[in-house]
Amino acid sequence: MTNTNPQITIRRATPKDASILAALGAATFTETFGHLYPPEDLQTFLVGSHSVGAWTHTLEDAQRAVWVATLADGAPIGFIVVGVCKLPIEQFSRAGEPSAGEVQQLYVLAQYHNLRLGSRLMDLGLEWLEAQDRTPLYIGVWSENFGAQRFYGRYGFKKVGEYGFPVGGTVDREFILKR
């Protein structure tokens, strides 16, 4: 019998992984959402959010943690970024939530979906957030990404609001989910 599941390793990313994550972040975002935007908006977003510099900043931030999933040959195929909540949650919390955490990004290349890799990454991210006493937890998700909404719902996240997420000159309607 042939094993069709590839060997996958998940490890904590370091600043040395900035170029790997820049390429993977751009690839996964483009694969998932690229068709939604004019090319110039997509390019503006990728330069700002998935440059080596942007990833170096993320990886050097002590209030964030990043894990990267790789194949046996070292090829990166997914990642998660968690940390202090950066979503516009003030409108949902009268007293403020200074200890709130956020799943900031969770992406897996499409050809590796259905291997439970997203769940494995999510579990690691949630464990880290809980160890940091981050509560409550938030996630921002595109309003039309129903699969992601179902996935996060299985972790107890529920919609509490909306905000505009800029991708170049385009502003997406995003849902804010809370657990």
Domains and CATH numbers, the chain: 8-178 (3.40.630.30)
Q: What is the predicted pLDDT for the residue at 29?
A: 97
- The mean pLDDT of 88-99, rounded to a whole number, is 73
Q: Using an 8 Å Cβ cutoff, are 168 and 45 in contact?
A: yes
Q: Residue 96: is it exposed, middle or buried by C-beta count within 10 angstroms (0-12/13-18/19+)?
A: exposed
Please report, as a single letter, which amino acid is at residue 122.
M
- The mean pLDDT of 119-146, rounded to a whole number, is 97
Query: Mean pLDDT of all residues in the chain?
Result: 93
Q: What is the predicted pLDDT for the residue at 94?
A: 52
Residue 93's pLDDT band (cuts 50, 70, 90) = low
Residue 91's pLDDT band (cuts 50, 70, 90) = low
